[in-house]
Amino acid sequence: MSLLVASHISKNYGDLDVLEDVSVRIEYGDRIGLVGHNGAGKTSLLRALGRIDSSVTGELSVAQGTQTGYLAQDPPPAGQRTLYQDLRLVFADLLAEGEKLHRLEAKMTEVAQSDQDLSGLLTRYGQQQEAFERAGGYDIDQRIRFVLSGLGLDESLWQAPLSHLSGGQRTRASLGRLLLEEPDLLLLDEPTNHLDVRSMAWLEGVLIGWKGALVVVSHDRYFLDSVATRIWDLAHRRVDAYRGNYSHYRLQREERRARWRKEYDRQQEFIRETQSFVRRYKAGQRTKEAQGRETRLKRFLEEEALPPPPIEQFIRLPLRAHSRGGDLVMRTRRLIAGYKEGSDSSPSTASEDGVRGPASRPPVPPVGQGRLRPMRSLSPTDTPILEIPDLDLLRGQVAALIGPNGAGKTTFVRTIMEELEPLTGRVELGASVDVGYLAQRHLGKGYGLMDGRQTVLDALLEIKRLPTERARTYLGQFLFKGDEVFQSIESLSGGQRSRIALARLTLQGANFLLLDEPTNHLDLDSQEILQDALRQFDGTILLVTHDRALIAALATQIWQVTPGNGKKIGQLELFKGSWKQWQEERLQTAVPKMPAKEELPPTVAEEEWERQREARRLRQRVQRQEQAVAETEERVARMENRLTDIEESMAQASARQDFAELKTLQEQHNAVSGRLEELMEKWAALAA
């Protein structure tokens, strides 16, 4: 059944056409992943399907009674209701029915009621209570707690006003509300933003079992592989549909493009041959034939000719280590990372990790020998964030540092980078280790960050002095063409900033890459290219990321961070193994499951239905038994007839004194008699 049919949808921003004559259909049960390059118009199409943007032209037909829910990337406005109150409003009508039940309960306790009045109230109460139960009225708080926990919203936030929450927390709250509303059509724009690994796995489980249909815009390849059953590829203002998940789409897209290129090449050869024929014979003896071919070619070009296949531009990542480091890359001993009171890197200024230090810190100096930081005791004025076990990261290994936002991952990274001094313990970098750092936030002052007032060209030359033409050629590999190299960093989009940050990283030639959310703001094709480049990198990598596809492809060990609370410091746990092994061993137990509903006494209707079902089962068992008895009796009769035939043959052989045949017949008689006894025992058991 079609929930939505969109025909000839178009959208433009001034002279820029984003969508042009797009027609799509959404069936009940579809789980569609909407992909495309940054700026291709994915959000515009999603808003058009949700009837949020009235400036879109075209036709949109929605099945009668279909409820649509839309999740935007930007957080909704914050009100003064608490997080928990906001989600309870989803069940406002049901809660009102609950209040009616409470009033009836109070009324039934009034002593002035007559027996007749009380009997009527009891009947009415029973009917309303059953309807309330059927609608899930007794499970409201259970469902809200399940959603809040699944989305990683800590219980300490449940009673906080929405205005006190961060933008990411409000976006998660908005997603939770949509999941509780259970619309028929769910439109989600980057729902995995602001979610940690555990919450992503939880959300996947919920969406895989979604009863209606959903369309998801996402840059998360792992998420699209898990959830999507169809892919819409939005490119060049049109949508191409593919069956299967993201991995299937990648294969099908390449096959389609290969066929397109092949057919286009054949078409161009046909055009060249026809044009050559026309030029050769138009003024000669075959003029009429040449004119006919020219007319047919013109009609073909106007009505049937294939457009040229799109020329896709992809970044190139020449990621190589300029030198080989020692076998030991990084070592920690009795390390606690955090902040000292009164220091300019105290946690008073929050960041993605919950903490942010000063704008400028000296970069990690070149490493020639292993460096030891001195041991010290934890001071009462210190703010410990994360306790790290003794780690040894060796050359060629890839460690994935995972955990919730605010758990201390960035604090640990800054400690490695010497932007923060350890509270206790030490960090040691091995001999000849050269660190290349890709920061999650690209603007600022400090190692790995860029000044927003710099041009793209200056940001590259800051890493290494190159001739201008060579630098511009190098930037071309990251899709900065012409005058784009003179744009300021602050004027770039998130994706463009990620590309110049990668360009700076590749120019360093470091042998130890410390990458903080490297796939943020990159389109799916660029993510694949980065993943391939990192897979071929001959150094060591520490990944701080929520990108599970990247972790699954590269990680040789998992460093899982568990956040602390007021009484306990956050902990880092080492798992030596791949993402798949970690997922099988750790993730399944960590993802919250919907608790079983409380067992309630069955209603009269349920008891009657169960009685009828049991009666049907009994009749079926009796029928199967009667059929088995009849089949066994038939086999017994055949065996008895067979014995009679053998006995007659034995009598004839005895009369002929054919002792050889008599012996054979005797053996057959014994075998059939044995099988007959087994059948008789089976028949007796069935007939008992």
Predicted local confidence at residue 589, as pLDDT: 55
Mean pLDDT to the nearest integer, 143-153: 89
- The whole-chain average pLDDT of the chain stands at 82
Higher pLDDT, 586 or 81: 81
Tell me the two tokens of residue 303: 């009505």
**pLDDT above 60 for 155:** yes
**pLDDT above 90 for 559:** yes
Inter-residue contact 234 to 35 (CB < 8 Å): yes
- Per DSSP bridges, beta strands 512-516 and 435-438 are parallel
Percent of the chain with pLDDT over 70: 86
Please work out, in degrees rounded to the nearest 5, the angle formed at the alpha carbon of residue 361 by the alpha carbons of 358 and 365. 165
Predicted local confidence at residue 165, as pLDDT: 84
Q: SS3 for 494? A: helix
Rounded-to-10 torsion of CA 473, 475, 478, 481: -80
Q: Which CATH superfamily is domain 328-590 in?
A: P-loop containing nucleotide triphosphate hydrolases (3.40.50.300)
Predicted local confidence at residue 136, as pLDDT: 79
Among 50-59, 350-359, 464-473, 618-627, the least confident range: 350-359
Q: Round to whole Å and give the CA distance between 460 and 505.
A: 9
Query: Which segment, 135-139, 252-256, 282-286, 358-362, is predicted with the most confidence on average?
Result: 252-256
Per-position DSSP letters for 14-64, written without gaps between them: TTEEEEEEEEEEEETT-EEEEE--TTSSHHHHHHHHTT--TT-EEEEEE-T
- Per DSSP bridges, beta strands 16-27 and 2-13 are antiparallel
Q: Round to whole Å and give the CA distance between 503 and 472.
A: 11
Predicted local confidence at residue 649, as pLDDT: 84
pLDDT in tens, 159-180: 988 888 888 888 999 999 999 9
Mean pLDDT to the nearest integer, 371-394: 76
DSSP state of 284: S
The residue assigned the tokens 């995972």 is: 402
Mean pLDDT to the nearest integer, 655-672: 80
The residues near 284 (Cβ < 8 Å, ≥ 6 apart) are 290
Predicted local confidence at residue 392, as pLDDT: 93
Among 443-452, 466-475, 563-572, the least confident range: 443-452
Q: Round to whole Å and give the CA distance between 260 and 252.
A: 12
Tell me the two tokens of residue 184: 């028929």
The band of 366, judged by pLDDT with boundaries at 50, 70 and 90, is very low
Inter-residue contact 48 to 57 (CB < 8 Å): no
- Per DSSP bridges, beta strands 540-544 and 512-516 are parallel
Query: Which segment, 115-119, 456-460, 646-650, is predicted with the most confidence on average?
Result: 456-460
Among 336-345, 359-368, 475-484, 607-616, the least confident range: 359-368
The band of 552, judged by pLDDT with boundaries at 50, 70 and 90, is very high
Predicted local confidence at residue 30, as pLDDT: 92
Specify whether the backbone of 496 is left (phi greater than 0), alpha (psi in -120 to 50) or beta. alpha
Q: What is the SS3 string spanning 656-679?
A: HCCHHHHHHHHHHHHHHHHHHHHH
**Pick from 383, 410, 395: which is nearest to 331 by CA?**
395
Predicted local confidence at residue 601, as pLDDT: 54
Q: Residue 574's beta-bridge partner residues?
A: 559
Higher pLDDT, 508 or 348: 508
Cα dist. 413→40, 265, 360, 479 in Å? 34, 52, 15, 30
Per-position DSSP letters for 304-350, written without gaps between them: TPPPPPP-----------SS---SEEEEEEEEEEEEETTSTT-TTS-
The band of 617, judged by pLDDT with boundaries at 50, 70 and 90, is low
**Pick from 40, 18, 523: which is nearest to 235 by CA?**
40
The band of 607, judged by pLDDT with boundaries at 50, 70 and 90, is low
**Pick from 424, 323, 417: which is nearest to 362 by CA?**
417
Mean pLDDT to the nearest integer, 92-101: 83
Residue type, 56: V
Predicted local confidence at residue 346, as pLDDT: 47
Predicted local confidence at residue 598, as pLDDT: 47
Instruction: Give the largest CA-CA distance in the chain.
Output: 120
Q: Residue 488's beta-bridge partner residues?
A: 455
Query: Which segment, 29-33, 133-137, 309-313, 584-588, is predicted with the most confidence on average?
Result: 29-33
Predicted local confidence at residue 229, as pLDDT: 93
Q: Round to whole Å and give the CA distance between 147 and 87.
A: 10
**pLDDT above 80 for 304:** yes
Q: What is the SS3 string spanning 549-570?
A: HHHHHHCCEEEEEECCCCCCCE
Cα dist. 593→136, 319, 582, 587 in Å? 18, 42, 19, 12
Per-position DSSP letters for 420-461, written without gaps between them: S--SEEEEEE-TT--EEEE-SS-BSSSTT-B-TTSBHHHHHH
**Pick from 489, 503, 491, 500: which is nearest to 452 by CA?**
489
pLDDT in tens, 630-639: 888 888 888 8
Predicted local confidence at residue 372, as pLDDT: 47
The residues near 651 (Cβ < 8 Å, ≥ 6 apart) are none
Inter-residue contact 69 to 181 (CB < 8 Å): yes
Q: What is the pTM of this model?
A: 0.72
**Pick from 65, 9, 499: which is nearest to 232 by CA?**
9
Predicted local confidence at residue 218, as pLDDT: 92
Mean pLDDT to the nearest integer, 480-508: 87
Inter-residue contact 249 to 231 (CB < 8 Å): yes
Predicted local confidence at residue 328, as pLDDT: 92
Q: Round to whole Å and give the CA distance between 491 and 520.
A: 18
Mean pLDDT to the nearest integer, 379-395: 87
Q: Which CATH superfamily is domain 1-78+175-310 in?
A: P-loop containing nucleotide triphosphate hydrolases (3.40.50.300)
Inter-residue contact 76 to 170 (CB < 8 Å): yes
Mean pLDDT to the nearest integer, 508-528: 88
Q: Round to whole Å and give the CA distance between 68 and 3.
A: 10
**pLDDT above 50 for 604:** no
pLDDT in tens, 253-283: 889 889 999 999 999 999 999 999 888 888 8
- Burial class of 294 by CB neighbour count within 10 A (0 to 12, 13 to 18, 19+): middle
Residue type, 558: I
Q: Round to whole Å and give the CA distance between 208 and 596.
A: 19
Counts for the chain of helices (H) and strands (E), in that order: 20, 19
**pLDDT above 80 for 618:** no
